[in-house]
C-alpha cells in the first residue's frame, strides 16, 4: 500500500508573488518638468498662534473685539471693517469677501497684519474655496500646510525645469577639422533636427549638413565583493557625436595659458599626493620596498661621510635626578637628594 501523505497547503497564485521585486516595475520619469516644492517657503512663512487664529473665526471673540475696539478705529479702518461688521449681522466668513475688500481687511486687522505676505496672497487668491478649518490650518501653521503638495493648486506653483546633467550639448575642440565644421557630444535621444533647431534658436547659426555616429564603449568589469573575486562584466552607455557643416566659418576660442585662477598646480599636487598614499597603502606598497625612504637614508649617509652633517641620537637624554624626573629641576641645579642617615648608628 502506498504511504499516506499529508495534504499540501493551497497556494494562492494571485497573492503569492513568484519573484520578489526590489526595484520599481515602472520607474518614475525624470525627463519631465518638476514642480516647485512648497517646502521652500517654510523659512519665510509666518502665521499666528493658536488663540489668535481661533479669535478670527470665533463669533464671540469678533463681537467682543468690535465692542472694545470699534470706537478707536479711524474712518479708513472702519470702512475696511465694514464688510465684516455689517448692520444686518456679523459676516463670519470674512475670507470669502472680494479680493479688494479682503486685502484691505487683512492689511488693517492688527492680527492679520503680522502674517507674512505669501500667506495673505495665498488666502486672497483662493479664499472663496476655503472653509473654516482650512483657514485655521493656514493661519496656525502655514509652513506645514504648504508642505503638502495637493494643498497648493498647480496654477499657484512656480514651475521650474531641472534638466538632467546628461542631457548636455558639448562643443568639442577639433583642430583637425576645417573652420566650417563643428563637432558636438550630444545625448543619445538627440537627433539631427533637434541639433539644427538648437543651434538656430539659441545661437542663430545656420547648419547645412549634419553627420552623426554612435560610439560603443568598451566592456568594463565591476569591483568584486572580496579580495580574490571579480565583479560582473558590463558595457557603459554609448556616446553619440554629431559633426555639423556650418554656413559660416567658425574659429574655436583660444585655450587659456594662465591656469592659476583655476588652481591648476594645487589640484595636480593634491592628486599626486592622494595617488601616492593609496599606492603605499595598497598591496603593491606592502610587497615592494619604499624607494623614497631608501634614497633619503643613502643621501643622509653621504652627508655624514662628507662631514656636512653631524650625527646625534634621536632620543633625549633625561637626567636621573628625582627633580628632573618630576620636572622640577634644571640643567644648572642638578643635585642629588640627601641620603637618609641611620639614627641607631
Read off the pLDDT of residues 213-263 as tens digits, 9 standing for 90 and up: 999 999 999 988 887 888 899 999 999 999 999 999 988 888 888 988 889
Helix (H) or strand (E) holding 272: helix 264-281
Q: Is residue 85 within 8 Å of 63, Cβ to Cβ?
A: no
Q: Work out the pLDDT band at 34, boundaries 50, 70, 90.
A: very low
pLDDT in the model for residue 318: 53
pLDDT in the model for residue 316: 57
Q: Is the pLDDT of residue 337 over 50?
A: no
What would the grid cell of residue 20 be?
520578489
Q: Which of 60-64, 148-152, 198-202, 315-319 has the highest average model confidence (pLDDT)?
A: 198-202
Closest CA to 39 of 181, 153, 142, 174: 142
Q: What mean pLDDT, rounded, does the chain reach?
A: 76
3-state secondary structure 127-188: HHHCCHHHHHHHHHCHHHHHHCHHHCCHHHCCEECCCCCCCCCEEECCCCCCCCEEEEEECC
pLDDT in the model for residue 206: 95
Greater pLDDT, 151 or 92: 151
Pick the CATH number of 170-224+232-246 from 3.10.50.40, 3.20.20.300, 3.30.70.330, 3.20.20.150: 3.30.70.330
pLDDT in the model for residue 19: 45
pTM: 0.41
Closest CA to 300 of 287, 314, 318: 314
Strand runs labelled E in the chain: 34-35, 159-160, 170-172, 181-186, 207-215, 220-221, 233-234, 239-246
Greater pLDDT, 299 or 30: 299
Cα–Cα distance, 67 to 225 (Å, whole number)? 78
pLDDT in the model for residue 321: 58
What are the residue boundaries of the structural domains of the chain, listed by start? 50-156, 170-224+232-246
Q: Determine how β-strand 181-186 pairs with β-strand 170-172.
A: antiparallel
Q: Is the pLDDT of residue 115 over 90?
A: no
Q: Which of 109-113, 115-119, 142-146, 272-276 has the highest average model confidence (pLDDT)?
A: 272-276
Closest CA to 157 of 146, 168, 143: 146
End-to-end CA distance of the chain: 112
Q: Is residue 160 within 8 Å of 34, Cβ to Cβ?
A: yes
Q: How do residues 156-184 score in pLDDT, each as one tens digit?
A: 776 667 777 888 899 999 989 999 999 99
Q: Work out the pLDDT band at 70, boundaries 50, 70, 90.
A: confident
Does the CA dihedral 145-148-153-157 come out positive or negative? positive
Q: Could you give the 3-state DSSP secondary structure of residue 221?
A: strand
Q: Could you give the 3-state DSSP secondary structure of residue 323?
A: helix
Amino acid at each position: 500500500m502506498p504511504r499516506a501523505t499529508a495534504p499540501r497547503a493551497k497556494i494562492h497564485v494571485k497573492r503569492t508573488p513568484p519573484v520578489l521585486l526590489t526595484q520599481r516595475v515602472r520607474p518614475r520619469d525624470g525627463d519631465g518638468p518638476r514642480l516647485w516644492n512648497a517646502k521652500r517657503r517654510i523659512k519665510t512663512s509666518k502665521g499666528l498662534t493658536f488663540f489668535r487664529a481661533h479669535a478670527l473665526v470665533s463669533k464671540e471673540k469678533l463681537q467682543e473685539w468690535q465692542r472694545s475696539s470699534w470706537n478707536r478705529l479711524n474712518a479708513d479702518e472702519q470702512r475696511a471693517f465694514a464688510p465684516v461688521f455689517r448692520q444686518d449681522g456679523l459676516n463670519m466668513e470674512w475670507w470669502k469677501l472680494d479680493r479688494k475688500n479682503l486685502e484691505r481687511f487683512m492689511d488693517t486687522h492688527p492680527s492679520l497684519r503680522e502674517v507674512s505676505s505669501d500667506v495673505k496672497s495665498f488666502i486672497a487668491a483662493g479664499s472663496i474655496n476655503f472653509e473654516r478649518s482650512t483657514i485655521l490650518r493656514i493661519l496656525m501653521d502655514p509652513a506645514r500646510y504648504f508642505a503638502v503638495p495637493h494643498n497648493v493648486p498647480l496654477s499657484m506653483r512656480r514651475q521650474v525645469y531641472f534638466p538632467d546633467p546628461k542631457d548636455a550639448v558639448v562643443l568639442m575642440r577639433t583642430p583637425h577639422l576645417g573652420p566650417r565644421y563643428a563637432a558636438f557630444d550630444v545625448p543619445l535621444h538627440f537627433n539631427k533636427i533637434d541639433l539644427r533647431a538648437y543651434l538656430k534658436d539659441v545661437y542663430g547659426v545656420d547648419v547645412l549638413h549634419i553627420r552623426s555616429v554612435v560610439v560603443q564603449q568598451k566592456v568594463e568589469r565591476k569591483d568584486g565583493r572580496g579580495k580574490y573575486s571579480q565583479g560582473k562584466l558590463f558595457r557603459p552607455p554609448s556616446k553619440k557625436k554629431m559633426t555639423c557643416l556650418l554656413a559660416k566659418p567658425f574659429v574655436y576660442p583660444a585655450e587659456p595659458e594662465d591656469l592659476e585662477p583655476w588652481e591648476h598646480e594645487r589640484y595636480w599636487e593634491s592628486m599626486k599626493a592622494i595617488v601616492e598614499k593609496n599606492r603605499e597603502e595598497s598591496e603593491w606598497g606592502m610587497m615592494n620596498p619604499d624607494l623614497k625612504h631608501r634614497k633619503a637614508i643613502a643621501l643622509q649617509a653621504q652627508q655624514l661621510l662628507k662631514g656636512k652633517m653631524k650625527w646625534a641620537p634621536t632620543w633625549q637624554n633625561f637626567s636621573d635626578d628625582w627633580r628632573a624626573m618630576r620636572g622640577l629641576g634644571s640643567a644648572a641645579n642638578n643635585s642629588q637628594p640627601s641620603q637618609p642617615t641611620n639614627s641607631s648608628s
